[in-house]
């Protein structure tokens, strides 16, 4: 058979496969061979999808909601999302400001395609979620990484990174992977810069429901951009509602952006299945109860995981949100193993625990430990790591 080597387009050659997704398939392979691996690598709650959501989805399927539908999403869901944002963050918006798509990953991809020309710049604070820079590169734009104080946003550093080519600043609070929440004052300053320089802020609020110390999360729009002049809120149903496999998320933005997305998505996936949207509506109708449960459970897990992790890595910041610990590895361990990647591999092989090296998130010398796992597994996994180090 003739073997050909296909040369992929440069925009594909320029990006790397999601390393966390890559590792997840290695771990699935090890598990298939009978290895018992404790997963602290995946950003996915281990709880089943709430029954009300499953029932609403099934009902929609039984009732025949299986046809092509409207590109930006069905009015019932767009209205419910607008009401949620008006209630939670006191925004002055309507359903016309809401656009539904296949998970927030695809929304981010679509937004960079919509807004960025070649060589435009997108500012990304480190540590960052792995898909941000790759989705930017897929649009031919350049990610510009800015330092933070171990995940604490610093508006002065962002200001220094702004150039005439800056199109977007990404904010992700609570942050994957740091678990920290950005300071309101710093967000306000970044918003003022965005307004002054005609820059958009993409606020990825995937972990909005998982805030441990405060009652209600406020993003940049809720803080000082209630009309969504410069802020694009990107949101996912995956984390709060344990709907990772449903693939549904949304963006709330000004109507100009929504019109652009409508044009783009009409040629990409067309629309999101209506039965999925009915499941998402049930999620929002039961949001308070689901959120309360998730917060209570994740607060217990956070406290447990944090105290055990500190015994291994003394420099572990206490997460304020999301479900990640982001410890700094002691110098002697880096010297012994060579890098965070080598240490993560050692932990996988010897302790049978999967976690991710911080260099995947732009901060070598750290690790990301997802505590989206049972208390029993948190205890087992962290004590196995302690034993082998
Ligand atoms: C910050 C952040 N944004 C977006 C996503 C993707 O969510 P979705 O399942 O909606 O694509 C993740 C998933 O890990 C995430 O951590």
- Nearest-atom number in ligand 1 for the CA of 44 is 14
Q: Pinpoint the residues of the chain covered by CATH 3.40.640.10.
A: 66-286
Taking CB atoms and a 6 Å cutoff, what residues make up the pocket around ligand 1?
43, 103-105, 129, 172, 176, 204, 206, 236, 238, 244, 249
Determine the pLDDT at residue 3. 66
Determine the atom of ligand 1 nearest the C-alpha atom of 172: 1
pLDDT, mean of residues 358-382: 96
The CATH fold of domain 10-48+289-388: 3.90.1150
Residue 110 Cα to ligand 1 middle (Å): 14
Rounded CA-CA distance 66/63 in Å is 9
Confidence of residue 160 (pLDDT cuts 50, 70, 90): very high
Q: How confident is the model at residue 109 (pLDDT cuts 50, 70, 90)?
A: very high
Gap from CA of 207 to ligand 1 centroid (Å)? 9
- The residue whose CB lies within 8 Å of the most ligand 1 atoms, and thus the one to mutate among 20, 44, 125, 131, is 131
* Contact in structure between 136 and 143 (CB atoms under 8 Å): yes
What atom in ligand 1 is closest to the CA of residue 105?
A: 11
Least confident of 74-88, 190-204, 208-222, 267-281: 208-222
Which pLDDT belongs to residue 2? 64
Confidence at residue 1, expressed as pLDDT on a 0 to 100 scale: 60
Tokens matching residue 372: 């989206």
Q: Give the closest residue to 218 by CA, choosing from 91, 82, 127, 98.
A: 91
By CB atoms closer than 10 A (0-12, 13-18, 19+), residue 121 is buried
Q: Where are the beta strands (DSSP E) in the chain?
A: 38-39, 98-101, 121-125, 142-146, 166-172, 200-204, 231-236, 249-252, 324-325, 353-354, 356-357, 367-370
**Closest ligand 1 atom, residue 108 Cα:** 4
Lowest mean pLDDT among 27-41, 43-57, 65-79, 167-181: 27-41
The pLDDT of residue 35 is: 87
The string of pLDDT tens digits covering residues 40-51 is: 998 899 999 999
Which of these, 128, 83, 165, 82, lies nearest to 358 by C-alpha position? 128
DSSP state of 49: P
Q: How far apart are alpha carbons 357 and 343 in whole angstroms? A: 8
Parts of the chain belonging to CATH 3.90.1150.10: 10-48+289-388
**308-356 pLDDT per residue, tens:** 999 999 999 999 999 999 999 999 999 999 999 999 999 998 999 999 9
Which atom of ligand 1 is found nearest the CA of 237? 10
CA distances from 82 to 76, 137, 337 (A): 10, 31, 50
Residue for token pair 């944090």 = 306
Q: Which of 226, 223, 159 is nearest to 197 (CA)?
A: 159
Task: Select from 129, 179, 232 the residue to mutate for testing ligand 1; criterion: most ligand atoms less than 8 Å from CB.
Answer: 129
Inform me whether the pLDDT recorded for 306 exceeds 80: yes
Residue among 79, 372, 65 nearest 207 (CA): 372
Give residue 230's pLDDT. Answer: 97
Cα 232 to Cα 253: distance, rounded to the nearest angstrom:
5
The CATH code that applies to domain 66-286 is: 3.40.640.10
Q: Residue 365 has what pLDDT?
A: 96
Q: Over range 13-23, report the average pLDDT.
A: 78
- How far, in Å, is the centroid of ligand 1 from the Cα of 105? 6
Measured CA to CA, the distance from residue 39 to residue 32 in angstroms comes to 14
- Output the average pLDDT for the chain: 94
For a pocket test of ligand 1, which of 23, 41, 43, 208 has the largest count of ligand atoms closer than 8 A to its C-beta?
Answer: 43
pLDDT at 21 over 90: no
> What average pLDDT score do residues 158-186 get?
96
């Amino acid at each position: 058979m003739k073997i050909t080597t296909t040369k992929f387009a440069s925009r594909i050659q320029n990006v790397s496969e999601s390393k966390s997704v890559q590792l997840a398939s290695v771990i699935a392979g090890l598990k298939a061979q009978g290895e018992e691996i404790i997963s602290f690598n995946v950003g996915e709650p281990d709880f089943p999808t709430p029954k009300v959501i499953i029932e609403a989805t099934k009902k929609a399927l039984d009732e025949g909601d299986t046809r092509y539908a409207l590109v930006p999403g069905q009015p019932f869901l767009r209205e419910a999302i607008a009401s949620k944002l008006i209630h939670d963050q006191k925004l002055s918006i309507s359903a016309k400001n809401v656009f539904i798509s296949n998970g927030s990953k695809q929304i981010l991809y679509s937004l960079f395609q919509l807004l960025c020309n070649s060589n435009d710049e997108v500012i990304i604070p480190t540590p960052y979620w792995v898909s941000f820079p790759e989705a930017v590169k897929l649009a031919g734009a350049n990610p510009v990484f800015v330092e933070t104080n171990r995940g604490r946003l610093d508006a002065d550093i962002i200001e220094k990174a702004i150039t005439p080519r800056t199109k977007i600043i990404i904010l992700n609070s609570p942050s994957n992977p740091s678990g920290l929440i950005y300071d309101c004052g710093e967000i306000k300053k970044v918003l003022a810069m965005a307004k002054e320089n005609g820059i958009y802020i993409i606020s990825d609020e995937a972990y909005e429901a998982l805030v441990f110390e405060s009652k209600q999360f406020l993003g940049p729009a809720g803080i000082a951009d209630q009309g969504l002049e410069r802020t694009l809120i990107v949101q996912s149903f995956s984390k709060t509602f344990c709907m990772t496999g449903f693939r549904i998320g949304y963006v709330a933005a000004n109507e100009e952006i929504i019109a652009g997305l409508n044009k783009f998505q009409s040629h990409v996936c067309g629309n999101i299945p209506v039965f999925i949207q009915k499941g998402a509506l049930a999620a929002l109708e039961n949001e308070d109860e689901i959120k309360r449960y998730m917060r209570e459970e994740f607060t217990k897990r956070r406290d447990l995981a944090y105290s055990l992790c500190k015994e291994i890595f003394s420099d572990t910041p206490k997460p304020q949100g999301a479900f990640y610990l982001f410890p700094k590895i002691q110098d002697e361990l880096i010297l012994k193993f060579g890098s965070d990647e080598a240490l993560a591999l050692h932990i996988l092989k010897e302790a049978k625990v999967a976690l991710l090296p911080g260099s995947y998130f732009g901060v070598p010398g750290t690790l990301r430990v997802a505590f989206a796992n049972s208390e029993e597994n948190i205890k087992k996994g962290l004590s196995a790591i302690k034993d082998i180090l």
